[in-house]
Amino acid sequence: MRTSHGTVQGYTGVAVVDDKSQVVVNAEALGTGTENALLPPVLDHTREHFSAIGGDDPLASSVVTADSGYHSEATLKALKDAGVTALVADVGMRARDPRFSDAQRHKPSKPKPKARLFVPHDFHHDPLANTCACPAGQSLKCSTRRAVIKGYAGPVFEGTPEQCGACPLRTQCLRKPKTTPYRQVAFLTKIQDTHPYTAAMRKHIDHPDGRSIYGCRMAVVEPVFGNLHNHRLRRFTLRGRNKVNAQWTHFCLVHNLQKLQPKIARRQHNAAPKRQQEGR
């Protein structure tokens, strides 16, 4: 798993939380490097838990909210096929939100480059012959005929360390001429959207109603993780998925007991006069 401390061998704790009482209705510890494929099976297990106790389908009339770590085209398709109404954020959700249009003013401004670097328009590209020449006249080799990058596709050309190492235009071509061995240049064009479920989710979550519902996610699930952190669950202390899963579910069980204890005590207090009256 990639963390702020580098790549580590570990597990991720996933919790499905009820927004009304902040009770964990399903908890699992999984040993996967990414979370973008975990949401459908976790929701299926949640349905199984409710079915085992004779309850109704909790997802039939609910809206599931999840952060961008769970976002992928395959996940959104699986949720659609399962009939689950969900709001799953993507990495560009905040950038599209007009409320965060001036967020950059809180960040330090980056220094502008001293000189203009060569852009793809400065290279001589022949799409029919699939050739490319740099501004210095060197012929670049085609490393990828069709690279797909963020909805754009096209060929990618690159030089060699021998060509770029002694090039007199090196400082105008490379951002870091002292460390970068050679230049790469891509000629990309917009392609047809091949992610219809992502586009539909983007439209749904950018709607004012979608933003309002998704904005509640932070107040629903994050306090649960904060409470578990207060119980000194800073890291798993066991090895093996079964043991780690048991540790994770036990901590979530303690959280649920703390949530339910005031309600149980209140219920017993309200029922006490009735029992006394029946006894008389």
pTM here is 0.67
Confidence of residue 112 (pLDDT cuts 50, 70, 90): low
d(CA 22, CA 255): 9
User: Residue 64 falls within a domain, yes or no?
Assistant: yes
What are 123's two structure tokens? 């290279």
Domain boundary (186, 209, 226) is at 186
DSSP state of 229: H
User: Residue 219 falls within a domain, yes or no?
Assistant: yes
Q: Report the pLDDT value the prediction gives residue 265, as an integer from 0 to 100.
A: 58
Note whether 8 and 89 are same-domain residues: yes
Domain boundary (141, 162, 186) is at 186
Note whether 93 and 34 are same-domain residues: yes
Note whether 21 and 156 are same-domain residues: no
User: Residue 168 falls within a domain, yes or no?
Assistant: yes
What are 251's two structure tokens? 């901590």
Q: Where are the beta strands (DSSP E) in the chain?
A: 2-3, 6-7, 12-17, 24-30, 63-66, 85-88, 124-126, 131-133, 139-149, 152-158, 184-186, 189-190
Note whether 181 and 217 are same-domain residues: no
Note whether 85 and 55 are same-domain residues: yes
Note whether 9 and 92 are same-domain residues: yes
Model pLDDT for residues 140-153, shown as the tens digit of each residue: 999 999 888 877 88
Note whether 153 and 201 are same-domain residues: no
Note whether 75 and 133 are same-domain residues: no
Q: Report the pLDDT value the prediction gives residue 278, as an integer from 0 to 100.
A: 46
User: Residue 115 falls within a domain, yes or no?
Assistant: no
Q: Report the pLDDT value the prediction gives residue 2, as an integer from 0 to 100.
A: 76
d(CA 139, CA 203): 44
Note whether 224 and 167 are same-domain residues: no
Note whether 175 and 203 are same-domain residues: no
For the chain, what is the domain count?
2
**Confidence check: pLDDT of 68 > 60:** yes
Residue appearing with tokens 């939380």: 17
Confidence of residue 264 (pLDDT cuts 50, 70, 90): low
Number of residues that make up the chain: 280
Q: Report the pLDDT value the prediction gives residue 25, as an integer from 0 to 100.
A: 94
Q: Report the pLDDT value the prediction gives residue 44, as an integer from 0 to 100.
A: 95
* Strand 189-190 to 184-186 pairing: unpaired
Q: Is 25 helix (H, G, I), strand (E, B) or coil?
A: strand
User: Residue 119 falls within a domain, yes or no?
Assistant: no
Note whether 159 and 22 are same-domain residues: no
**Confidence check: pLDDT of 274 > 80:** no
Note whether 88 and 198 are same-domain residues: yes
Domain boundary (186, 214, 230) is at 186
Model pLDDT for residues 145-200, shown as the tens digit of each residue: 988 887 788 999 999 999 999 899 999 999 898 899 999 999 998 877 678 999 99
d(CA 245, CA 42): 13
**Confidence check: pLDDT of 280 > 80:** no
Q: Report the pLDDT value the prediction gives residue 174, as an integer from 0 to 100.
A: 92
User: Residue 94 falls within a domain, yes or no?
Assistant: yes
Model pLDDT for residues 84-105, shown as the tens digit of each residue: 999 999 998 988 888 887 777 7
Domain coverage including residue 137: 128-186
What are 101's two structure tokens? 């249009």
User: Residue 106 falls within a domain, yes or no?
Assistant: no
Per-residue pLDDT, averaged over 124-129, amounts to 93
- Provide the phi-psi class of 208: left if phi over 0, else alpha when psi is between -120 and 50, else beta: alpha
d(CA 273, CA 280): 11
d(CA 51, CA 59): 12
Confidence of residue 31 (pLDDT cuts 50, 70, 90): confident
d(CA 117, CA 175): 7
